[in-house]
Chains A and B, each alone.
Chain A
Amino acid sequence: AQSVTQLDSHVSVSEGTPVLLRCNYSSSYSPSLFWYVQHPNKGLQLLLKYTSAATLVKGINGFEAEFKKSETSFHLTKPSAHMSDAAEYFCVVNRGGADGLTFGKGTHLIIQP
């Protein structure tokens, strides 16, 4: 079975400093991995996805993630945090069939002024 573990429930950074949100996955085959962002009381928006092409994936709003098979990780990074980045972030793995996605429990990103 596929699963994801987000290693931090909350991350706090200062505006203008780098962001690192950590995600490890477990999969019996080569997975498809996603990062979604959710602002308060809103739906989810796709930031980026990995689908076995390039291991370094660039997404929207300056975010990127690197797929590391040897470490079973898919950490999300951004060089410089902006106040508008404050939100909940979900690491997600595709189940491989038709029944959708498996979500991590989320990381709440706090941006300090």
Chain B
Amino acid sequence: DGGITQSPKYLFRKEGQNVTLSCEQNLNHDAMYWYRQDPGQGLRLIYYSQIVNDFQKGDIAEGYSVSREKKESFPLTVTSAQKNPTAFYLCASSLPTSGSDNEQFFGPGTRLTVL
């Protein structure tokens, strides 16, 4: 089965702790993305990566970090610097971004709650 997996589904963190969210895809897509979803705000782009060992900040990158050491993996770390990390996090991937009509495929999401 081809697709995107995110783990864990639910994650609880104490204030001041860093936490890493996993995202893996076996679609052979070059581009990967992280979004944050809050009620009534749609999805906002955190980071994106077009190719291995390269990534760029999105609209709300502060307090987050990423790595792209392998094509199939794009983990997101939520650091203690993120002031309001409780949210639903979605990972996505797409074919090479040379075409503007490339749809993105989404994982099932991770719900992070800070206690």
Contacts and interface: CB of A to CB of B under 8 A. Distances in A.
B48 interface: yes
A94 B100 contact: yes
A69 B92 CA distance: 29
Given A41-B109, A43-B107, A103 B42 contact: yes
Nearest to A44: B106
A101 B59 CA distance: 11
Interface stretch (A45-53, A60-68, A78-86): A45-53
B92 to A, nearest CB: 8
Interface string A20-39: 00000000000110101000
B114 interface: no
B17 interface: no
Chain B interface, DSSP helix/strand/loop, else mixed: strand
Contacts of B104: 100-101
A103 B58 CA distance: 13
Contacts of A96: 100
A68 B100 CA distance: 19
Contact of B108 (A34, A43, A49, A51): A43
Contact of A103 (B31, B43, B97, B100): B43
Contacts of B105: 46
Given A41-B111, A43-B106, 18 more contacts: A31-B100, A32-B101, A43-B108, A44-B92, A46-B105, A49-B103, A90-B42, A94-B101, A96-B100, A98-B31, A98-B50, A98-B56, A98-B97, A100-B58, A100-B104, A103-B35, A105-B40, A106-B42
Interface of B: 4, 31, 33, 35, 40-45, 48, 50, 56, 58, 88, 90, 92, 97, 100-101, 103-109, 111
